[in-house]
Structure 1
Amino acid sequence: MKKILVLFHFLLSIYVFSQNNERTLILMEKGSNLPIEGAVVLVLKTKQVLMSNSEGKVVFELKGGSNVKVTHSSYLPVILKWTSLNQPQNIVYLNSKENTLDDIVVTKQHPQEIIKSLVENSIKKLTVPARLKSYSREFFKLNGEYAYYNDGLINFQLYKDQKKVKSVLLVEQNRSFGLIDDEISSNLLGYNLNNMMEKYYLFTVLRPLMDDKLNKKFNFVIKVSPQGEEFNEITAVPLEGTNEIFDDFKIVYDVKKKLIVEINAVVSPTTLAEAKEETGKGSKNITRSVFKTNYRIDMENYYLVSSKEEINFNINTGNDVKNIEVLNNLVTTNFNIQNYTYKESDVFKDKTLFNIKNSILTEYWNVSGLTPTVKELEIITNITKSF
């Protein structure tokens, strides 16, 4: 009888566990125990893509047996066996690549020429036409206070038009909460959904490094992985004394395929301190700028996985100076080379989601691939309750 009871409880625990497929990964740096933000988590069976937040957290449903691959340009990749994810919350430690890259020059070719070659080849190899089903999320702050929030599921139909990448947008679901001040609504910089993909697929952020005049204002370093590693890095930092606002760049690329897999562009505090401040009406002075994109190489397909953009600036309205901050994330939840079928009336032609009526059919944000932090969830809750 005792054996039967033990077996019953064992089978019951398996049944209960199987009913709750939600898993949480917390990615930590080995040694420092610091959370890892911006890691790409791929569920290999379903091809679902997720990104870790600033707490290192990823939440997803594990349906059936599927291993999970975790990658980050600064850490060694790891594949997690699905059988090891046997707890609702699983802590995973990643080893830093910091000491595995050597700062050496492996070619007589100038780094600028390497970047030009990488951009040319990457544009050529990006899979177009194709469609990306993406989750978009945007926070908006006015004078330091969170005043607006939107997110949505967006289908980007990518196609080429005279060697340029264009996109048709179809919004599946969306929600917007908050008030936008008419005086500053036109100054939401850099988040026009209708030209976003063109920017990411033509690598326009790298133009300063490919300009024959501007490239002389940067110091380039090539970081080469040991033999057998897949990726190299090129960093480009503005030279001291440069009064213009240039980013600090990091480009991670596949050595064999010559394809860009990650771009980081951040305006450093040193650069901002040396920049000349504009004071006239309508002038904008940047106080923070962050740009990051990740791309995935999957067999013959090569496409955008995620983007993160943050911009903080002061704008002189004539009456006063307002501080505006926009934080934008985009995660590709599904990639497909098949075209969508749609009516012209279904196409979203506006710039941002705050101009469209809310359409909520499911709790799509819970399967978005982007887990909100505790603070972000609190902000979302407070904004949605206020309006």
Structure 2
Amino acid sequence: MSKIIYFFICLLTFTSSFSQQNYVLFLKDSATKEPIQSATITVKNSGFGTVSNDEGAFQIYALNNAEITISHLQYKTTTITLDKIADKTNTIFLDLNTLELEDIIVTKEPIHELLYKAVETSRNKFNKPIVLNTYYREFVKVNDKYTRFTDGLIDYHMSGSKADLIVNQSRAAKLITEDDETLDLASGLDVRHATTKQYTFYTLEKIIFDGKNYKDYDFELKSRIEKSGSEVYIINFKPKEDLKKYLYKGTVVFNPESYLITDVDIASDQTKLEYTKVINILIVKAALLGLRVKSTYKITDAGNYVLAFSTRKGKLKIWNKKKYNETLEYKSDLVVTDFKKDDLNYNRKDVYNDRSLYKRGNKYSDKFWQKNNSMVLTDDEAQIIKKLELESNSVN
């Protein structure tokens, strides 16, 4: 009998040592101790991944002996086993990539043509049909006050040029009271296009290549040797100084051998804000005051090329002579937590067809936001939506 008990104790010990746990960890610069945001974290030999938030925090739901790889354009890529993180603060320090960028590369081919080749190659390389398991989140502010929040677990079934959405769980909150004079405005984002726009490099295409807009920009090409010994190309672009237009600046990183893009970071040039266009939308006028789009892509151990993370931030001024004078801000984040080849056997009746996940409301069976490698809320964001849990004593 004692041998049997001993066997089960050993079995329990072995099982617990390799059980899945939820890890909340923090990334910081090893020199400055400042948090590192928008780092991509992947679990080795799996499709699982997540990204660090503005405070450098991320969560991983994985085996405690799992290896995670942390990558960021400005820092050395780091691989670490979860059970090796002994620090009580659960902090991982990253070293800056101190390798100097080489001199500007001079090519016979115009840099914008190299960029277009990278876009076309990457667009054609994406694995399809594919199911992207994602965590999606959106915040809306009006006149500097948070008004809306929503998040959810969404499967994007991608085939061809479109995606069908299956929303597994979601929650939503109106963050202003009924007697609040602040308008409850929608962000204007379309959750149905949250992955397709990244797979088509929509923003990059519109601002650089539509109507030969590349003529408005100066391009710079540099290369860098990574710690692994591999080379990456970095294309920076910015508006030509003498142009009186509301334009953008950005960075695109790609592999010079495969031409596959790993990072895209585009932001409006605020020095050109005075040239922003005013457009008419029904009974109001609107002007874009700011936009930033950032996406990261990865090649998995199995050679799959997939989206890893995307974020979109925008700021608009909306007004008319009679009633409105509002500043609308929005931020959406999408993390691809896993993926698999799509068998296209999902029920078409379950496809979500609304522009906004907010309309679906609170429909969830567990605290999904604490699992599934969803992006960790910042302290401010956590306070904003804390009432969601306080108002709900039982899970829907």
Q: TM-score range by the shorter chain?
A: 0.7 to 0.9
Aligned twin of 2:36: 36
Q: Is the 8 A contact 1:44 1:69 kept in 2?
A: yes
- 1:381 and 2:383 matched: no
Aligned twin of 2:159: 159
- 1:224 and 2:223 matched: yes
**CA displacement 1:250-275 (0-9 Å, x = unmatched):** 10112221101111011132122454
| 1:124 CA drift (Å) | 0.9
| AA matched with 1:268 | D
Counterparts of 1:289 and 1:98, CA distance in 2: 30
Tell me the secondary structure at the aligned position of residue 102 of structure 1. coil
Aligned twin of 1:362: 366
Tell me the secondary structure at the aligned position of residue 370 of structure 2. helix
Aligned twin of 1:309: 312
Q: TM-score, normalised by structure 1?
A: 0.87
Q: Is the 8 A contact 1:22 1:88 kept in 2?
A: no
- 1:334 and 2:321 matched: no
Counterparts of 2:280 and 2:26, CA distance in 1: 45
Query: Mapping of 1:1-387 within 5 angstroms?
Result: 21-97=21-97, 99-160=99-160, 165-178=161-174, 188-189=187-188, 191-207=189-205, 208-211=207-210, 213-226=212-225, 228-275=229-276, 282-298=284-300, 299-317=302-320, 318-369=322-373, 370-382=375-387
Counterparts of 1:226 and 1:300, CA distance in 2: 21
Counterparts of 1:216 and 1:375, CA distance in 2: 42
Change over 3 Å in CA distance of 1:385–1:327 after alignment to 2:
farther
| 1:167 CA drift (Å) | 0.5
| 1:295 CA drift (Å) | 0.8
Aligned twin of 2:6: none
| 1:39 CA drift (Å) | 0.3
Change over 3 Å in CA distance of 1:103–1:78 after alignment to 2:
same
Tell me the secondary structure at the aligned position of residue 122 of structure 1. helix
What runs of 5+ residues in structure 1 fail to find an aligned partner?
Answer: 1-12
Counterparts of 1:385 and 1:94, CA distance in 2: 37
Q: Say how many residue pairs are matched.
A: 371
Q: TM-score, normalised by structure 2?
A: 0.85
Counterparts of 1:57 and 1:156, CA distance in 2: 25
Aligned twin of 2:5: none
| AA matched with 2:363 | S
| 1:324 CA drift (Å) | 0.8
Change over 3 Å in CA distance of 1:279–1:152 after alignment to 2:
closer
Structure 1 range deviating more: 89-98 or 252-261: 89-98
| AA matched with 2:292 | V
Tell me the secondary structure at the aligned position of residue 206 of structure 1. helix
Counterparts of 1:185 and 1:351, CA distance in 2: 16
Structure 1 range deviating more: 340-349 or 221-230: 221-230
Tell me the secondary structure at the aligned position of residue 362 of structure 2. coil
Q: Is the 8 A contact 1:234 1:251 kept in 2?
A: yes
| 1:316 CA drift (Å) | 1.2
RMSD: 2.9
| AA matched with 1:242 | L
Structure 1 range deviating more: 317-326 or 123-132: 317-326
Change over 3 Å in CA distance of 1:385–1:320 after alignment to 2:
farther
Counterparts of 2:264 and 2:391, CA distance in 1: 37
Tell me the secondary structure at the aligned position of residue 285 of structure 1. strand
Q: Is the 8 A contact 1:178 1:383 kept in 2?
A: no
